[in-house]
Structures are given as structure tokens and as C-alpha cells.
Amino acid sequence: MNGNPATQTGSDAAGASRQATGQEDKNQRYWFHILLQDTPTARNLHATKLVNKAWEQGDRVCIVCDTQQQAEELDDLLWNISPDAFIPHSIAKDSTTTCSDPVGILLYPPAPEDWDTVIILSAALPANADRFKRLALVAHNDPNVLNQARAHFRQLRALGVEAQVYDQRSRS
């Protein structure tokens, strides 16, 4: 386990490497991961792997989901991601519940100033999505989820963001 040094700020965990200048670099902080698998469990597992990588590199990370059931599945996956990993995290049910852990599973839209990396699994893209330091959207290969991802992509584009797409389906 690499630890989580407090002096580090941010990572390239959710996608390509990043730099802090200009619109082109901003776009490299936004990623779509489209999975070959077609199950919600595969999507949740992929999200937890992104969380682990970002957290190990020093990020404060949140996963945004829609239901308590999904939050509990993510909670279980984070506790069991690997035998040597320990990812301090908690579930926050509403914006009045402060998440003081370095990793949060949120059932509400996150505030951009609270998180280094935001992973979206929810049906709604936060209105201020262009203000996040890093944002990853994860979709599994299901028609409804892919349509939701397309809507998120259009919303980001309307906000002036051209997200990088990692489509595992094109590798098969």
C-alpha cells in the first residue's frame, strides 16, 4: 500500500496525466469509462478501482450514486478491494452530513471545493460539473446506462468540456 501523504495534491488517477494550464488541459481532467461488461456490479467494481488509485495518489475522492443499495454495495467493495488495501470511507446520505473521510460515497451532488476526484455513477450530472478538479463518469454496457452517459457527455460539452473517452468495447 502506498499511503496517502497529505502534502500531495491531486493525481491523474481517473484518466490521462494532467497539467494545470488552459482549456485543453482542463478537458484532460474529465473522463468517460465505458465498460465492456454489462452489469452494475462491473461498473461499481471499476469505480472502486478508480477510487483506490486516486486515493493512493493523494486525492480526496467521492463516488456519487443514486440509491442506498448502490452505496452499500460500493461500501462493501471498498472494504474488500484487496487484502492489503485500506481505504477510509463513509456513506453520506445528504448534504447536511459532512463526510470527513478521504473517500465519500455520496447520495447527493458534491461541492467542487470538497473533492479532488469525483466519480459519477448517478443518473444526474451535477449542474456545476465543469468546476470539478477531476471528474470520471463510468458506464457499463447497458442501453439505459449508455443513454445516460451520452446525456452526461452532451451536458459536459454544453459546459465547454470535451471529455476523454476510454471505451473498452472498442478493444474487443
Question: Rg of the Cα trace of the chain?
Answer: 15
**Mean pLDDT on 41-47:** 95
What b-and-e string marks burial along 33-52, b requiring 16 or more CB atoms within 10 Å of the CB? Answer: bbbeeeeeebbbbbbbbbbb
Q: Which ranges of 62-142 would DSSP assign to H, the alpha helix?
A: 68-79
How many residues are there in the chain? 172
**Mean pLDDT on 126-150:** 93
Distance from CA of residue 33 to its chain's centroid? 10
The rounded mean pLDDT for the chain is 84
pLDDT at res. 135: 95
Tens digits of residue pLDDT in 16-29: 443 444 444 555 58
pTM above 0.85, yes or no: no
Q: Between residues 141 and 21, which one has the greater pLDDT?
A: 141
